[in-house]
Amino acid sequence: MTEYQQEQFPIPTPGRLRRELRLRKPPWWMVAGLIVVIIGTWIPLYLIYKKRNSYSTQPKIHYIQDMDLQPGFRAQQPSTLFDDGRAARAPIAGTVARGHLKQDDHYYRGYHTVRKGAAEMIEFFDSVPGRVKVDNKLLARGRERYDIFCVVCHDSNGAGSGLLHQRALTLKETKWVPPTNLLTQEIRDRPAGQIFQAIGDGVRNMPGYKTQISVEDRWAIVAYLKQLQASQPVASVEKKTKTAK
């Protein structure tokens, strides 16, 4: 045994103190290990910090599956069963769901075909159908829908220089056809049914909005458009050349 351990009250000479202190220290590898562990604990924290402050292209990992992913299909989900890759199926051609016959030409199409002698003619209805009650609520709805679907091209006053039109001009798109000015006398004279039909099926270079706007909303837009035209001065009839600038 070392000498100093036998002594009960050793006199603390500098040499003894030094030895004493050295021996109170744990061995270096333990100290080093501790430092490594302490630094190591920051690594997961740093990784979490990084994950929280960056974007990832990897989907989340479902650590606990529960019933997160069920075999049933939800809207717009893909399916490998069918050729077109869709899980949703269209109704079989030639069938009509109950209550969806859409016989009311005025309401659903805005025109009907009439026989004049041998020829079949298309005749537009010149009014909003009776099923649609034109009141402030409908006009407000029409305005809202117009702002959603038409403003990009026709602008909020209907004159036809919406943001998309301006963009197309700056891009110098050769295929771009300027949107019709809806305030001209020509368009004002259009029967309501024709405008309804134009919104649904499109006209020439204007796309149809059948899939995006419901029938009620299309009539609401027609009613609002009539009101908008009444509130704006008649635009001079500029013969628009049908080519883009």
Partner 1 sequence: MSTDSTTGSASARFLFPRWANYLVPGLVILAIGILTYVPLVTWLFISPETTDVGYQPEQPVAFSHKLHAGDLKLDCRYCHSTVESTSYAAIPDSKTCMNCHASIKSDAESLRLVKESFSTGKPISWLKIHDQPDFVFFDHSAHVNHGIGCVTCHGRVDQMEVVRQEKSLSMAWCLECHRDPTPHLRPRSEITNMDWAATQINKTQAEIAKELLEEYQIHNSAFLTNCTTCHR
Q: Which of 110, 142, 179, 193 is close enough to bind ligand HEC by CB under 6 A? A: 179
Helices (H), 189-238: 192-201, 215-231
Q: Which of 67, 93, 96, 230 is close enough to bind partner 1 by CB under 8 A? A: 67
- What is the Cα–Cα distance from 216 to 139, expressed in whole angstroms? 12
**String of b and e for 160-195 (b: at least 16 CB within 10 Å)?**
bebeebeebeeeeeeebebbbbbbbeebeebbbbbb
Q: Which does 183 bind (CB under 5 to 8 A by kind): ligand HEC, partner 1, none?
A: none
Q: Which of 58, 95, 136, 170 is close enough to bind partner 1 by CB under 8 A? A: 58
- Binding characters for partner 1, 189-228, by CB under 8 A (x = yes): ----------------x-x-x-xxxx--------------
Size of the site for ligand HEC (CB under 6 A): 27
Residue 82 has, within 13 A of its CA and on its CB side, a CA count of 10
Can you give the C-alpha Rg of the chain in angstroms? Answer: 38
Region 86-105 residues binding partner 1, contact defined as CB under 8 A: 86
Q: Is 225 exposed, middle or buried (0-12, 13-18, 19+ CB in 10 A)?
A: buried
Amino acid, single-letter form, for residue 233: P
12 near ligand HEC, rule: CB under 6 A: no
- Residues in CB range of 224: below 8 A, 6 or more apart: 139, 141, 142, 143, 145, 146
121, 113 in Cβ contact below 8 A? yes
Residue 199 has, within 13 A of its CA and on its CB side, a CA count of 29
Strands 119-124 and 111-116: antiparallel
206 near ligand HEC, rule: CB under 6 A: yes
Q: Which of 182, 183, 215, 235 is close enough to bind ligand HEC by CB under 6 A? A: 182
Minimum CB distance to ligand HEC smaller for 20 or for 173: 173
Phi-psi region of 16 (alpha: psi -120 to 50; beta: other; left: phi over 0): alpha
- Binding characters for ligand HEC, 53-92, by CB under 6 A (x = yes): -----------x-x--------------------------
Residues of the shown chain interacting with partner 1 in the complex, contacts defined by CB under 8 A: 1, 20, 23-27, 41, 44-45, 48, 51-52, 54-61, 63, 66-70, 72, 74-76, 78, 84-86, 144, 147-149, 151-152, 163-164, 167-168, 171, 173, 175-177, 205, 207, 209, 211-214
Residues of the shown chain interacting with ligand HEC in the complex, contacts defined by CB under 6 A: 64, 66, 149-150, 152-154, 164, 167, 171, 177, 179-180, 182, 187, 190, 195, 198-199, 203-207, 209, 221, 225
